[in-house]
């Protein structure tokens, strides 16, 4: 089968497009003919170093995906051949204390597609049956693929961790990326007021069109002062951060007393000044979050269908154009998800 895979680390030259073996399907697993995947920041990280992530080379890239069921165990009570599905991107052991309490994303042996396991930039993949959800009939494969990482991450951040309420205000940093856009869509559907930041005026205007209540141009405004001004000096209830070090201080200074900072990434660095006095005097809460559980993905999908929330797909590339797709993601200029279309290949 055709796939985009890593042959090493250190730049685009280590990403190859070529033939890889068809994945073997174990009992309880389903083989899916993939039709779309989307790019995530971790794809760049895996290409450039992959440090700290246990993996092997060659490694098929890609975390999320959607396609059509090709092969599964006979008598499956839920799934059937030819069914359109989207993928949950993690595989848990099902036996550790975290899995047993239903928080499989904290599994001690958790594996993520495209990291510890072969991923979705391929014509076929084999995953546990519980990792598949029916793809809504009016959604594209790219939209379905996009739900599994960015929207799931934003859902856990806002709903599970921060427990955002309809009367609250959330500040979202770096609007335009997949997680930030998902956060905007979900927060607005929950009824919250949303303030967004960006250094690009065009992204801010597009965010307004998607429902942002207030925008802050980080290239010329002090974010914390602007956030306080937009809330009448009170501060925001929730700061939503997938940027890290460069916005940490702004996030803490923007929060109301007792507010919550929820973060899922550190693309700008992971060693900010702690500002401990502000944390304990204002009794702020800092909540870490990564991806989400299978149950949360089911909740998210139902929520999206009920509220008409659909991922924003900015640009689509063919699998053979994976280098151009990675370059677009690396530029930071995108507004929405970058998708790969995959033809699914011949029947095995």
Q: 155 pairs with which residues across the strands?
A: none
What is the predicted pLDDT for the residue at 270? 77
What is the predicted pLDDT for the residue at 342? 97
Long-range contact set of residues 231-235: C-beta below 8 Å, sequence gap at least 24: 231/169, 231/195, 231/256, 235/259
What is the predicted pLDDT for the residue at 303? 98
Q: Is 253 left (phi over 0), alpha (psi -120 to 50) or beta?
A: alpha
Sheet containing 214-217: order of strands: 214-217, 193-198, 169-172, 236-241, 255-263, 285-288
The model's pTM is 0.95
307 within 8 A of 140, measured Cβ to Cβ: no
What is the predicted pLDDT for the residue at 11? 83
- How far is residue 74 from each of residues 34, 70, 80, 81, 132, measured CA to CA in Å? 21, 12, 9, 10, 16
Q: Distance between CA 280 and CA 110 in Å, rounded?
A: 33
Q: What is the pLDDT along the chain (348 residues), one digit of tens a residue?
A: 999 999 999 988 999 999 999 999 999 999 999 999 999 999 999 999 998 899 999 999 999 999 999 999 998 999 999 999 999 999 999 999 999 999 999 999 999 999 999 999 999 999 999 999 999 999 999 999 999 999 999 999 999 999 999 999 999 999 998 999 999 999 999 999 999 999 999 999 999 999 999 999 999 999 999 999 999 999 999 999 988 778 899 999 999 999 999 999 877 667 788 888 999 999 999 999 999 999 999 999 999 999 999 999 999 999 999 999 999 999 999 999 999 999 866 555
R_g of the chain, CA atoms, integer Å:
20
What is the predicted pLDDT for the residue at 273? 82
Is residue 96 classed as helix, strand or coil in its secondary structure?
coil
What is the predicted pLDDT for the residue at 268? 67
Q: Distance between CA 342 and CA 145 in Å, rounded?
A: 12
**Two tokens at 283?**
């009794």
Contacts of 283 (CB under 8 A, 6+ apart): 257, 258
**Two tokens at 181?**
């856009």
**Two tokens at 62?**
């890609």
Q: Distance between CA 216 and CA 221 in Å, rounded?
A: 7
What is the predicted pLDDT for the residue at 244? 76
**Two tokens at 112?**
């993520």
What is the predicted pLDDT for the residue at 245? 79
Is residue 85 classed as helix, strand or coil in its secondary structure?
strand
DSSP state, residue 90: E
Cα–chain-centroid distance for residue 157?
Answer: 11
Nearest 5 degrees, angle CA 338-CA 339-CA 345?
160
**Two tokens at 279?**
């944390």
What is the predicted pLDDT for the residue at 266? 73
Q: Distance between CA 131 and CA 119 in Å, rounded?
A: 13
Q: Distance between CA 143 and CA 240 in Å, rounded?
A: 23
């Amino acid at each position: 089968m055709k796939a985009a895979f890593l042959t090493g680390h250190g730049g685009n030259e280590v990403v190859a497009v070529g033939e890889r073996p068809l994945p073997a399907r174990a009992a309880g697993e389903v083989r899916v003919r993939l039709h779309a995947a989307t790019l995530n920041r971790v794809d760049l990280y895996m290409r450039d170093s992959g440090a700290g992530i246990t993996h092997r080379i060659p490694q098929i890239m890609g975390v999320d995906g959607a396609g059509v069921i090709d092969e599964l165990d006979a008598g499956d009570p839920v799934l059937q051949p030819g069914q359109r599905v989207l993928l949950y991107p993690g595989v848990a052991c099902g036996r550790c204390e975290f899995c047993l309490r239903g928080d499989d994303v904290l599994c001690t042996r958790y594996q993520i597609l495209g990291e510890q396991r072969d991923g979705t930039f391929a014509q076929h993949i084999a995953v546990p049956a519980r990792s598949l959800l029916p793809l809504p009939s009016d959604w594209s494969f790219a939209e379905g693929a996009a739900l599994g990482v960015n929207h799931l991450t934003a859902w856990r951040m806002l709903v599970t961790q921060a427990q955002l309420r309809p009367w609250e205000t959330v500040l979202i940093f770096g609007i335009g990326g997949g997680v930030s856009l998902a956060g905007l869509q979900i927060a607005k559907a929950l009824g919250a007021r949303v303030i967004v930041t960006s250094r690009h005026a065009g992204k801010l205007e597009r965010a307004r069109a998607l429902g942002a209540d207030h925008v802050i141009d980080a290239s010329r405004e002090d974010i914390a002062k602007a956030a306080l001004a937009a809330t009448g000096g009170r501060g925001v209830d929730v700061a939503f951060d997938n940027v890290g070090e460069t916005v940490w201080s702004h996030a803490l200074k923007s929060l109301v007393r007792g507010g919550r900072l929820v973060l899922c990434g550190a693309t700008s660095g992971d060693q900010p000044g702690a500002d401990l006095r502000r944390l304990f005097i204002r009794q702020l809460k800092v909540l870490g979050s990564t991806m989400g559980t299978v149950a949360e993905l089911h909740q998210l999908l139902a929520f999206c269908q009920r509220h008409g929330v659909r991922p924003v797909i900015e640009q689509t590339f063919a699998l053979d154009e994976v280098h151009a797709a990675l370059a677009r993601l690396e530029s930071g200029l995108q507004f929405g998800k970058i998708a790969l279309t995959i033809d699914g290949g011949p029947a095995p």
